[in-house]
Structure formats: C-alpha cells, structure tokens
Amino acid sequence: MALMRSLLLAASQNAWLRNNAVNFPFVRRSVSRFMPGETLDSALAAAQTLLQKRIGTVFTHLGENVTDRAEARNVSDRYREILLRIGQAQLSAEISVKLTQLGLDLSPDLCYANLESILEHSCGTTVWIDMEASGYVDATLDIYKRALKNHRNAGVCLQSYLYRTRKDLRDLLSVHPAIRLVKGAYKEPSSVAFPRKSDVDQSYFALAQELLRARAAGTCSRVAFGTHDAKLIRRIGDFVAQQGMSKAELEVQMLYGIQRAEQERLAREGCRSIVLVAYGTYWYPWFVRRLAERPANVWFLLRNVLAS
C-alpha cells in the first residue's frame, strides 16, 4: 500500500495526467463520489441536503499553485461569492482556502491581501486555511497568525505526519487558535514526515489529546478532526468522555461521499459532524490525493474502470 500511495501522489503532480485524465469517463464517474458537481450551485444543493441530517458544511473551491496575480484575485472573488451565497441561503457552512490559490507562490503580501479581502467579507463565518506541502508550513503559519490579529474567525490546518507539528501546535497556543488536525496528503521525504502509517496514526492521537486538553484549558478556541478513520474517531471520542467533556466538543470533518454512515452517526449522537464539499474544474490533483489516502478509494476507481 505504501508503494501505491507513492505512485498516486506522484501521479497527482503529473502535468500530462492533470490535463488529460479529466477527460476519461471512468475518472469523471469516480470523482463524482467525492464532489457533487463542478458548480457552486451543486455544492450549495449538497449542503442543503446535509443540513437536513444536522450535518454542517465546509466549502472549498478546488485549485492550487496559482502563478498569475489576476487569477489569484479572481479566486478571492469566488470565495467572496461563496460567502454571499451562504448568507443568502442561511446555511450552517464555512469555507476552506489554500494559500497557493491566493498567490502565495507569487508573494506572501499579495496572498495576505487576498485572504484579508475574504475575511473582511466573512461576517463571522469561519475561514479555514488549508495546510499544503511541508515547504509552505512556515509561510502558512505566519500568514495565519497575522490574520488572527484582526479576524478571530480564522482557523488553520495542521498535519500529523510532519515531525514538526507538535512544536507548531505548542507555538500556536499562545494566540488562541482554531485548529483542524489531519494526517497529511502530500508526498513528503522521511526526513520531514513519518513514513509509516502506524506512526502517523500514533502522532495523530497524541496531537488530538493535546488539542482537546488545550480546548478544555481555554488555550485553543476550536478543535476539529479531519479524518475518515473510524477506529481513530472512536478513540478520540472515548478520550473526550474520559475528560468529562460533552459530545459536542468532538468535531469531525470528513469529505463528501466518504464514510456517510459515520457522518450521520456522529450527528445523531450529538457530536459536531461536518462535511467538506469541494467544487470546481481543477479537481484532478485533489482527487488523486484522495485516492492515495485510502485503499478503498482505489478499488472504487477500478470498479469504474471495469464498468467502462
């Protein structure tokens, strides 16, 4: 499985596949499991359906590594449109952005200006900042801390597969952050990230405990767990109960179309169940990283190949 993951992560960065695989019918059928459609309207419709099951939504407009200033500004405009539509529909929804979409590869100041424009139009809606490959961690955390000075509704993602994350977490607690913890979905060398899944899982649970203790102590404003690992979710839920915290303190964020029964179980039991609904045309790299995260996703793709 480690070899398969490495191959898929390499494929996610392949320019030829990015430009051509999106035209293969079996690929388009497969990606429909993970996103309701390419348009904002389709994403909003999915959020309305989720809301009926007491499940919240985080919207993300797919894209990354924008290298044109006008396009980075255009991305910022699109996120402001999402925020406007969330307000009009009175949805329980948030947004999640990648800083490389907002021009981080061009200039940190340009990126921050675009992020600030989004935050100024957020009206208190949480704006999550995704964490990307390890080379972006320092810049991402610097921009997050800068944003948090004027916008307490900003949150940031941390990745348990990076060795540095425990230190990053402890450094962030001084600014009372909102943190979403994930395992990590980029191809990283063993010099910066745990190469074994068991070590990544162990790191995740250790960080989860630290985050929940910080939440109980009032040094972390919000804690969310981005994972589809049902066993890990149960362990974290048991820890929440052992600490005497309410079930509402367990917030789990999953991708659209994955572990739907688990999403609904969490909502029924009084936990905070959130689904990330992605949309847009630039879905290939994101989709392949989703395949790399879970072997079951690969078998789903193969079934669509055989059905072609």
| Predicted local confidence at residue 92, as pLDDT | 83
The CATH number given to whatever domain includes residue 140 is 3.20.20.220
Establish whether 180 is a catalytic residue: yes
Question: Would you say residue 243 has pLDDT above 70?
Answer: yes
Catalytic residue of the set 5, 105, 130, 201: 130
Greater confidence (106 vs 5) lies with 106
At 82-95, the pLDDT tens digits run 999 999 998 989 99
Identify the top-confidence range among 26-35, 67-76, 278-287.
Answer: 67-76
The reply to whether 81 falls in a domain is yes
Distance CA 100, CA 94 (A): 19
Residue 234 belongs to what H/E stretch?
helix 230-242
Q: Is the pLDDT of residue 306 over 50?
A: no
Per the structure, the count of domains in the chain is 1
pLDDT in tens, 110-150: 999 999 999 999 999 999 999 999 999 999 999 999 999 99
Is 211 a residue whose pLDDT tops 50? yes
- Residue 1 inside a domain? The answer is no
Rounded Cα distance between 55 and 257, Å, is 13
d(CA 305, CA 308): 5
pTM for the full model?
A: 0.86
Looking at the domain assignment, is residue 303 inside a domain?
no
Q: Considering the domain boundaries, does residue 75 fall inside one?
A: yes
> Is 189 inside any structural domain?
yes
- The residue type found at 145 is K
- Mean pLDDT, the chain, rounded, equals 88
Give pLDDT tens digits for 254-264. Answer: 999 888 999 99
The yes-or-no answer on residue 69 being catalytic is no
Mean pLDDT of 7-25: 56
Question: Is residue 160 situated within a structural domain?
Answer: yes
Q: How confident is the model at residue 290 (pLDDT cuts 50, 70, 90)?
A: low
- Domain membership flag for residue 30: no
CA–CA distances in Å: residue 173 to residues 125, 215, 234, 252: 21, 10, 25, 20
Please say whether the beta carbons of 193 and 165 come within 8 A. Answer: no
Answer yes or no: are the C-beta atoms of 234 and 196 closer than 8 Å. no
Q: Is 166 helix (H, G, I), strand (E, B) or coil?
A: helix
Least confident of 35-49, 64-78, 164-178, 275-289: 275-289
308 lies in some domain:
no
Domain extent for 272: 36-282
Q: Taking each helix axis from N to C terminus, what angle separates 295-306 and 2-12, rounded to the nearest 10 degrees? A: 70
**Candidate from 27-41, 81-95, 197-211, 271-285 with smallest mean pLDDT:** 27-41
CA atoms within 13 A on the CB side of 189: 3
Length of the chain, please?
A: 308
Catalytic residue, candidates 5, 180, 272, 289:
180
